[in-house]
Structure 1
């Protein structure tokens, strides 16, 4: 089959991944509107976010591995169609129950991230792999920012259902183009899907993320929360044992033990805690009435505009990372990105009395997000065999999600532990939360320093990205268990 245009392929991948990333944050500012329209409670409407988070965490690594086995293009088209169906169902949802089911279906789209990175590695010329991964990472990062900025104007001008109608149109057309023009990757992994590993992976992820997202309502010491945390530990241990003994592991644990992989994932866990917490709490901070002693009483649209510097900065720095990586190295870009996140959070903790201060800090954090996202994907892709790209990048995305859930949960405790008589938080709660996030981002920078420097090696063939010799030997040596 003749190779299609890599520019068209990249456009398709960027559109699908960008829309999914946007859906992660697009609905959050509109939750009060959805609650009123659906005549439901606040505790119930939060499941619109929770269901999406849990679904994406399960499907991202599993379908990434399926793509490695049966073909990334085939899986990509199926995932895009599922995302389109989920958005269509959400746009037409007559009740909150149907909307939550629709969000579960939309979560399947999380697999677009690992599948897209794998297609780039397989199909693009070697010299274009790094810049293309950086550019795609920039689009993914910016997608979350677009969701925060665009939600207010869309709901004000149209209706909250258009938050889903627009993705139906865009992703539906993109799926048709992908089916027609994206080539099927020739690189396939041997074996089959390890369904026991998939079930155990799904089990411990849900058991971990569900109490993290709901502990604020259940209570951290409630029976449900403690029981699920205990179940997560047991299921995680069983999953490790099952994967180690399987001839066809869902996630090759030897890959996860590579220093470049575990150090990058550690940095991703810590940086994800800072990033998702900023996305979750900074809009609420600026929307707080100034009578509370902080905040600016901004509308949803106004809060989105204050986040605009972050959106612009993360896209520009993500694109720039692809040009800098051959000179500076992905390790140093990840370190710099995490350090910028620490500077931004420290700035917010110390100075947040003026809107320009918040906008400046948001822009600095955006620079960090762009550099970190681009470099994390590059480090993972260049450190694992081609047939493990989907599973490895899927797990990296999951690690960031887990970090984000932990960071958001802990930040929520700090912000809401003491409330004013009006029910609003004190400024000190946000100050402590921003300070904690600065520490987490600094720890991410230190973890990034543990990533080994990749040895220079010539690339042979389109899309071939070699691993460092020492790590490659660790991957390929030894019989499978």
Structure 2
């Protein structure tokens, strides 16, 4: 394998990071813009929360499988080629979505977008590890801060465009991303094609399995559960015979790698749960419009962007362990505060959301940096790909679960003693569940890593 990082000057590295951040902004905004528009989409197509969740869930499911697939492809094909293909597909899906007139058409557009868009976050974490290994901690922080910044810009943009015009016009911003292809191609070093194979049947089986699970969660479909277990069993038989399986079982035998990936899975479920529930809760409890929902999320996302930028430096100077543990403490506190104060002033609730939101980039950057310490150089693509697969799968599963729970009515159970009234028990209980999930992730990580020597 070539070592393109030796060919890059400091100026070229800065330009490459800038291009990554610009194109990543379009991808992340694409998710959070539509998040605040979910109530409007549900109203337009007369959908229940468990049904409209597929706008996010279907997108994230394809994103999850694509993230690992592109991670594997990055070990074989030049990153420049993969990103070009991805951005074109991302924009093409957006073009279809712009003219969607029914829910099925919208889902097709989102899936095509996900097929292309999955290249961007997947490769955004591989590029620093491959081309800038000495600065990877700092670049991971910058990438994570960009994700947080874009996730904050998305709700505001979605609120303005969706509230002033129509949510379909949000697709226009994704179409614009093709304009940056020439600049991105000029910034990425050339690479040669390397030998290797891609397990496409394995990827399809994983996608079918997870889709079955999500159908079971959202629609209580027994057929979905049968599909989940059936596809999973066939996948297990398949990877035992395949020379280069979609999921590397040898890598999963490393308990520290597996622990880091599962910790990130739980951490991502905490963040996706919050981002999915807040718009629906804000419409139901506070009767906020699309723009106001964006403003509710904006301070948290901006705070996360600032903390995420510094988080990369914290990871480099203090190490991944303490940063990751601090991030989960913030997630626990933030979700508990939201649970306790739903129903009070939206301004105060925005401050509670801020506490949880700032945990997101710290979890991402510290986990990504920790994984690069655990993964052999020749398996960087598949190792980071597994990390992305689990993160996005976490988002799909958590969104589906919370979407199904949001269909419930007349909830009398009160998990948080500080919840203000029975009208908000459902939302309060969901955020208590998020807080407990973050607590479990922190305990799991700390116990599993307590005997591992700290990296020098």
Task: Give the count of matched residue pairs.
Answer: 433
Q: Which ranges in structure 2 are unaligned for 5 or more consecutive residues?
A: 412-420
- How has the CA–CA distance of structure 1 residues 430 and 33 changed in structure 2, closer, same or farther, with 3 Å as cutoff? closer
Match in the other structure for 2:455: 455
Q: Does 1:111 align with 2:119?
A: yes
- How has the CA–CA distance of structure 1 residues 453 and 203 changed in structure 2, closer, same or farther, with 3 Å as cutoff? farther
Quick check: 2:76–2:194 contact (8 Å CA) kept in 1?
A: yes
Match in the other structure for 2:425: 428
Q: Does 1:6 align with 2:13?
A: yes
Quick check: 1:117–1:133 contact (8 Å CA) kept in 2?
A: yes
Moved more, 240-249 or 127-136: 240-249
Cα drift, residue 36 of structure 1: 6.5
TM-score by structure 1 length? Answer: 0.83
Question: Where do residues 331-342 of structure 1 align in structure 2 (5 Å cutoff)?
Answer: 331-342=321-332
Cα drift, residue 320 of structure 1: 1.1
Q: Aligned partners of 1:26, 1:425: CA distance in 2, in Å?
A: 31
Q: Does 1:183 align with 2:189?
A: yes
Q: Does 1:87 align with 2:94?
A: yes
Quick check: 1:137–1:377 contact (8 Å CA) kept in 2?
A: no
- How has the CA–CA distance of structure 1 residues 299 and 232 changed in structure 2, closer, same or farther, with 3 Å as cutoff? same
SS in 2 for 1:69: coil
- How has the CA–CA distance of structure 1 residues 355 and 45 changed in structure 2, closer, same or farther, with 3 Å as cutoff? closer
Cα drift, residue 132 of structure 1: 0.3
Match in the other structure for 1:199: 204
Q: Deviation digits for residues 45-98 of structure 1, max 9, x if unmatched?
A: 654334322321222211221122112221111111111111122223455443
- How has the CA–CA distance of structure 1 residues 114 and 454 changed in structure 2, closer, same or farther, with 3 Å as cutoff? farther
Match in the other structure for 1:444: 441
Quick check: 2:35–2:56 contact (8 Å CA) kept in 1?
A: yes
Q: Aligned partners of 1:409, 1:158: CA distance in 2, in Å?
A: 28
Q: Which ranges in structure 1 are unaligned for 5 or more consecutive residues?
A: 289-294, 457-481
SS in 2 for 1:426: helix
Q: Aligned partners of 1:50, 1:416: CA distance in 2, in Å?
A: 16
TM-score by structure 2 length? Answer: 0.87
Q: Aligned partners of 1:202, 1:84: CA distance in 2, in Å?
A: 23
Cα drift, residue 9 of structure 1: 1.1
- How has the CA–CA distance of structure 1 residues 248 and 41 changed in structure 2, closer, same or farther, with 3 Å as cutoff? same
Quick check: 2:304–2:360 contact (8 Å CA) kept in 1?
A: yes
Cα drift, residue 284 of structure 1: 2.3
- How has the CA–CA distance of structure 1 residues 209 and 409 changed in structure 2, closer, same or farther, with 3 Å as cutoff? closer
- How has the CA–CA distance of structure 1 residues 436 and 401 changed in structure 2, closer, same or farther, with 3 Å as cutoff? same
- How has the CA–CA distance of structure 1 residues 344 and 396 changed in structure 2, closer, same or farther, with 3 Å as cutoff? same
Q: Deviation digits for residues 344-384 of structure 1, max 9, x if unmatched?
A: 11112222323233112111112211211111221223321
Q: Aligned partners of 1:132, 1:106: CA distance in 2, in Å?
A: 26
- How has the CA–CA distance of structure 1 residues 374 and 76 changed in structure 2, closer, same or farther, with 3 Å as cutoff? same
Question: Where do residues 239-258 of structure 1 align in structure 2 (5 Å cutoff)?
Answer: 239-258=235-254
Match in the other structure for 1:300: 290
Match in the other structure for 2:418: none
Q: Deviation digits for residues 180-227 of structure 1, max 9, x if unmatched?
A: 3311346x7642112332232222232223433xx2xx2x3xxxx232
Quick check: 1:189–1:387 contact (8 Å CA) kept in 2?
A: no
Q: Aligned partners of 2:282, 2:127: CA distance in 1, in Å?
A: 40
Cα drift, residue 432 of structure 1: 1.3
Q: Aligned partners of 1:425, 1:68: CA distance in 2, in Å?
A: 53
Moved more, 189-198 or 15-24: 189-198
